[in-house]
Each structure stands twice: as structure tokens, then as C-alpha cells.
Structure 1
């Protein structure tokens, strides 16, 4: 999977990249049809400290695109939160794909 990281007002360090790759590896455990992912890390001057650090990730699947965004006072916690949100979305998408057994009730 290709991971492209963009940032605004923050320099992406190798540890940030490793942290994101580790989180996305959890998603690949559930569903390995991920084509590529793009992350956007933002540091703003929001008045509320909890909203200053933002992490956004878009995952491109075959025929589908999943997006999640999270805010936190710490950028690493924001990255963890966005990975957790995407993990739930991927599991739900996988269940929809694999649900081929529609029960029909005949009376």
C-alpha cells in the first residue's frame, strides 16, 4: 500500500510516518484490498486547544473511498483516533461485501 503524507504547519518526522504506517497495518489485517492511502496532518491556531492538531486519512479501496478526520491536543493521539475510525469503517465495509447470505422468509 502506498502512503502519501501531506502536512500544513508541521514537519513530518520519520517517527510520525512510522506511527501512521503501524496504524494502517492494523487496517490491512482486517482488509488487504487497500490500494493506497493519503494522510493530511494539520496544526492550526484554533482557540480550543483540543482542535489544534488534526489528522485526516483517505483510504482508496476497489470501488470505494473511505475518509476519517480527528482532532486532538496531541498529533499522535489524533493519528490514533483517525486510524480507529477508519478501522471501524473498513470492518463495516468488509461485512457489507461478505454478506451474501440474505435470508428470505417464506410463509
Structure 2
């Protein structure tokens, strides 16, 4: 996975870089669809931290933006937004429309017993 982190006003501190990389690695382990990520940090009006992320996942490009006075709070909000989008992509890929849902094990065994009785 290719991760690019930029700060428009200053250098990215090692602690912030580690937090972003840890979050993306954890998301990659959980969803296994991330191919690359671009995270941009910017300070707005001298007070508010704005964090934007563009995530390239298999078949989709995700974008989220979060802002807060505290950079770490903005990063947490951003990670929550991206993780929700990744979960939705995973659900769509695993539950395609038109496929039959698997029967629970109890219903399958009852159906097998009925077929045996009929024979």
C-alpha cells in the first residue's frame, strides 16, 4: 500500500505520521481493499486543522474531509468517516444483489430430513 502524507503549512511530525500509518494499516487488515492513500493536513484561519483523505480502494476512490481545533480529533473523525465508507464497499462486494442468501444450518438439516422422509 502506498501512503502519501502532506502538510500544506508545515512538516508532518513523526507522531502524526505514525498515527495515520497505523490507522491505514489497521483498515487495510480489516477491509483488505486499500491500494493507496493520500492524506493532506492544512491549518485554516490559524485555529482549525483540516484533514482530507483520498483512498484508492479496489474499484472505488473514497474521499473524506474532517476539521477540528485539535489535529488528533480531526484525524479520528476522518478515520471514522473513511472506515464507514470502506465497510460499505466490503458489504456491497460480499452481498451482491440477486444472489441467494445462505440458509442457517438448522434450516438446512430440517430440509434434508424432509427429503429423506419423502423418499
Is the pair's TM-score, using the shorter chain for normalization, greater than 0.5?
yes
Q: What is the CA–CA distance in structure 2 between the aligned matches of 1:103 and 1:40, rounded to whole Å? A: 39
Indicate the residue corresponding to 2:41 in structure 1.
41
Kindly tell me the number of residue pairs found equivalent between the two proteins.
Answer: 100
Matches within 5 A, 1:67-78: 67-78=63-74
Unaligned 5+ segments in structure 1 are: none
- Taking structure 1 as the reference length, the TM-score comes to 0.84
Larger Rg over CA atoms: 2
Matches within 5 A, 1:2-17: 2-17=2-17
1:103/1:7 Cα in 2 relative to 1: closer, same or farther (>3 Å)? Answer: same
Is residue 74 of structure 2 the alignment partner of residue 60 of structure 1?
A: no
- Taking structure 2 as the reference length, the TM-score comes to 0.76
Q: What is the CA–CA distance in structure 2 between the aligned matches of 1:12 and 1:21, rounded to whole Å? A: 12
Q: What is the CA–CA distance in structure 1 between the aligned matches of 2:9 and 2:69, rounded to whole Å? A: 15
Is residue 95 of structure 2 the alignment partner of residue 96 of structure 1?
A: no
Higher relative contact order (CA 8 A, sep 6+): 1
Unaligned 5+ segments in structure 2 are: 101-119
- Report Cα offsets for 1:4-28 as digits up to 9, x if no partner: 0111113201111001011112311
More helix by share: 2
